[in-house]
């Protein structure tokens, strides 16, 4: 059986999760940018940072999948908003659903991890986008703010780290199913 951990990470939080999961499972972890042939793998674990509502690299990587009936597909998103917030999870799922075929979406087990941000390390485009977004949502009434809005307001212009490797345990449990 051939397994792979694939990740899409801009600033390193998702890569850290992927490397830790790799260490725990002895499954190779690689950036989505280096994956040429995804169909040779039986188990595909995709970890992707959340950026502007999308999961970095996921659509490009998983669109090449075919004959998935015997594949195990696990997707884990990494973002700042609280992954236990049901509205946040629904928003993430809706965004994932738009990025994947129906068949892949329905086959995938989805997990939500909390990431990190250091505004000092953001590139100009990301810094500018977040500044515009921050100013757009900071004055919204609290009842209209989504979890990701509140997370951005709380962390804006700061360095925060919510990485929790124990949250990988749920993925580890999923990997053990059927073995």
What secondary structure letter does DSSP report for 91? H
Rounded distance between C-alpha atoms, residue 45 and residue 168, angstroms: 12
Q: Give the containing element (helix H, strand E) for 7.
A: strand 3-8
Structure tokens, 127: 């810094």
Under 8 Å CB-to-CB from 83, ≥6 apart: which residues? 77, 89, 112, 113, 114, 167
At residue 55, does pLDDT exceed 70? yes
Say whether pTM exceeds 0.85: yes
- Give residue limits of the domains in the chain: 3-116+161-176
pLDDT of residue 110: 96
If you average pLDDT over every residue of the chain, what do you get?
Answer: 91
pLDDT of residue 45: 98
At residue 119, does pLDDT exceed 80? yes
Q: Which CATH number fits domain 3-116+161-176: 3.30.70.1230, 3.40.50.360, 3.40.50.300, 3.30.70.100?
A: 3.40.50.360
Rounded distance between C-alpha atoms, residue 93 and residue 77, angstroms: 10
pLDDT of residue 1: 58
Q: Helices (DSSP H) in 63-168: which residue ranges?
A: 86-99, 102-107, 124-137, 147-155
């Amino acid at each position: 059986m051939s397994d792979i951990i694939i990740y899409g990470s801009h600033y390193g939080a998702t890569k850290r999760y992927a490397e830790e999961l790799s260490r725990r499972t002895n499954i190779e972890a690689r950036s989505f940018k280096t994956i040429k042939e995804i169909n040779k793998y039986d188990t595909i674990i995709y970890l992707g940072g959340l950026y502007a509502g999308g999961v970095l690299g996921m659509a490009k990587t998983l669109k090449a999948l075919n004959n998935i009936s015997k594949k195990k597909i696990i997707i884990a998103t990494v973002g700042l908003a609280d992954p236990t917030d049901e509205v946040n999870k629904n928003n993430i799922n809706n965004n994932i659903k738009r990025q994947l075929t129906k068949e892949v979406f329905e086959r995938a087990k989805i997990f939500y991890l909390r990431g990190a941000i250091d505004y000092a390390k953001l590139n100009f485009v990301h810094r500018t986008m977040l500044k515009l977004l921050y100013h757009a949502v900071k004055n919204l009434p609290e009842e209209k703010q989504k979890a990701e809005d509140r997370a951005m307001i709380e962390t804006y212009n700061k360095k925060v780290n919510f990485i929790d490797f124990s949250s990988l345990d749920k993925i580890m449990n999923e990997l053990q199913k059927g073995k």
